[in-house]
Structure 1
Amino acid sequence: MKLLLASILAASTLLTGKVLAEPNSTIAKIRELGEINLGVREQTVPFSYLDDRQEYVGYSVDICKAVVDHIKRELALPTLKVNMRPVSAATRIPLLANGTIDLECASTTNNADRQKQVAFSNTIFLTSSYFASKRSNNLTEISDLKGKIITSASGTSNLVSLLTANKSMHLEARIVPAKDVSESFLMLSTGRVDAYVMDDIVLAGQIATAPQPEDFIISKDTLSPPEPYGLVMRKGDTEFKKIVDEALVAYFSSDQAVTNYKKWFEQPIPPNGVNLNFAMGQNLKNAYAHPTDSIDPSAYK
């Protein structure tokens, strides 16, 4: 019976050219409800955040909008409603699992541990874990963190990298996890911690939008190899992952992809017109040219 059903679905797809959904799939849910729920962040500049008009914007949000446009065309749903649902590092995976969101559009690192719980799209960005500190503290290398108080956001791969470095390098630092990236930076700004570990581009965004950005510096040393960001969806829904990845292949090959990158990383961005001046690296150029969801750093060389 399963073989017969699979044959019917395959034949129908060939004849209609439309995507047919399996029962309980994200595509079936989208068709039934006429809407898609995107998980977004409130303060992850420049990937996903609220601007001065209280609208969700950012590099990842723009990519998700391109994916949604592709889904509208493929499913013949031109009036598909798009809902923006706020998530955090701690809530993103549970909210995917319970169906509150269908696709997370932010800055989530694709790694082996997370792949046990969720699925990732083709890579949309590459980053590494660095630490930020007050310039006056003169902390630039990992060895400078010995005996210091350090924070990172709960539920992030950065916290894992920090804990690993603390143990392997015998730093004897006191690790104080924060609720999210906003609380982490607040703890650093107010002197409650000596350093804050996070992705380099997230640190750059938070420092650039701080009242006195000149007060902070980002370390020379990195606590991790290059790590990929991906859009996140429910694990096991190969049908939905396929349509998302197809959308990204088309997107990365278009002029829109480079224009979008420059918009968020090389030009003034809302709300304060700050320019991050973060040129696209060769690893990301390779990811655009050869889309992949690999977690192997060598895949992007």
Structure 2
Amino acid sequence: MIRFNSILAAIAAVAIAGAGVHPASAQAPDTIAQIKQRGKLLAGVKFDTPPFGFLNEKNEPVGFDLDIVKKVAERIGVPVEFVKVTSPTRIPLLVSGNVDLSAASMTHTQERDKTIDFSITYYTGAQSLIVPKASTIKSLKDLAGKQVSVQQGTTLEKNIAAAAPGAKIVAFKDYNSAWLALVQGRVDALTGSLNILQGFAKDNKDYVILPDRFSVEPFGIGVRQGDSSLRDAVNFALQDMWKSGEYAELYKKWFGAEPDVPLEVWP
């Protein structure tokens, strides 16, 4: 009987594989139903990364990522509650179930894809450097022996190490800490995604962003592994926003320009 049961289990596994369904994903919880039953979407966002997610003068969380998530929640039919995450915590808090999704200026990488699933790319950025205007640093090649602050636990940290092997990389827990280190003169430069650096430079005219661009950063919204219902809801919301023009409006609101990379839209 044990052997017969084993054979039946093997046949079932083959049948599932033949149907293109992974056993784990077939048993994935219906997150959309859980969200509706709870009455709100729990979204992990950053509070320290302008213009994607930060606290305004009223100490309220705002930003491009937050506005995107609001649109997703509207389409699900519930309000959204924002939960503060950082680069080191955005995936653990998602995997543990503390948030339903993570919209936290997160680059979609193969390594991260082993742990969570991602939406389509909703923003494509590039990594750059910001320095004081009086700095002698004019490009990547001038970083040898210089100290460069970066947010820890990000692709940015790996990228700058590869692009400027002679630099001394100083990692901080969040963007604000990395920026403060530059303002206080404890480092010579700060590296990060271009639009995030533009957010810091906007009200700090004594700093300049260098022209070097040394990475491509495709941002995706993270969901738990196998959570196809929520991933589809996010993807369809993003695509609807692109077709309706809502995406372009939000992009111009936060970046002051038209989006130059179109979203992937399925028929």
2:154 pairs, out of 153, 156, 159, with: 156
1:104 aligns with 2:102: yes
Q: Letter of the aligned partner of 2:141 in structure 1? A: S
Partner of 1:183: 177
Tell whether the 8 Å contact from 1:123 to 1:291 is kept in structure 2 after alignment.
Answer: no
Kept after mapping to 1: 8 A contact 2:151/2:178: yes
Structure 1 partner of 2:22: none
Q: Distance in 1 between matches of 2:131 and 2:185?
A: 10
Residue 22 of structure 1 deviates from its aligned partner by: 5.7
Partner of 1:195: 189
Note the alpha carbon deviations across 1:126-160, whole angstroms, 9 max, x for none. Answer: 11111111111131211010111111000111101
Residue in 2 that maps onto 1:239:
229
Alpha-carbon distance between aligned partners in 2 of 1:184 and 1:30, rounded to the nearest angstrom = 35
Partner of 2:56: 51
Taking the aligned partners of 1:240 and 1:22, their CA distance within structure 2 comes to 14
- How many residue pairs get aligned? The number is 245
SS of residue paired to 2:164: helix
RMSD between aligned residues: 2.1
Q: Which moved more, 1:247-256 or 1:180-189?
A: 247-256
Q: Does the residue aligned with 2:32 lie in a helix, a strand or coil?
A: helix
Over 3 Å counting, the alpha-carbon distance change for 1:85 and 1:206 in structure 2 is: same
Q: What is the SS of the residue equivalent to 2:119? A: strand
Quick one: which of 234, 241, 247 aligns to 1:251? Answer: 241
Matched position secondary structure for 2:41: strand
SS in structure 1 at match of 2:134: helix
Q: How do 1:252-291 residues align onto structure 2 when only pairs under 5 Å count?
A: 252-266=242-256, 279-282=257-260, 284=261, 286-287=262-263, 290-291=264-265
Gapped regions of structure 2 (runs ≥ 5): 1-8, 17-25
Counterpart-to-counterpart distance in 2, 1:81 and 1:214:
38
Q: CA deviation at 1:200?
A: 0.6
TM-score, length-scaled by structure 1: 0.76
Report the Cα offset of residue 281 of structure 1: 4.9
Distance 1:28 1:259 in 2: 30
Q: 2:68 aligns with which of 63, 66, 74?
A: 63
Structure 1 counterpart of 2:58, which letter?
R
**Whole-angstrom distance in 2 between the partners of 1:50 and 1:139:** 31
Q: Distance in 2 between matches of 1:166 and 1:194?
A: 13
CA distance in 2, matches of 1:241, 1:216: 39
2:123 is aligned to 125
Of 217, 227, 233, the match for 2:217: 227
Contact 2:41 2:100 in 1 (8 A): yes
Instruction: Report if the CA contact (8 A) 1:39-1:86 is conserved.
Output: yes
In 2, are the aligned partners of 1:48 and 1:105 still within 8 Å (CA)? Answer: no
Does the 8 Å contact 2:141/2:164 carry over to 1? no
If the length of structure 2 is used for normalisation, what is the TM-score? 0.85
In 2, Cα distance between equivalents of 1:228 and 1:115: 13
SS of the residue corresponding to residue 101 of structure 1 reads coil
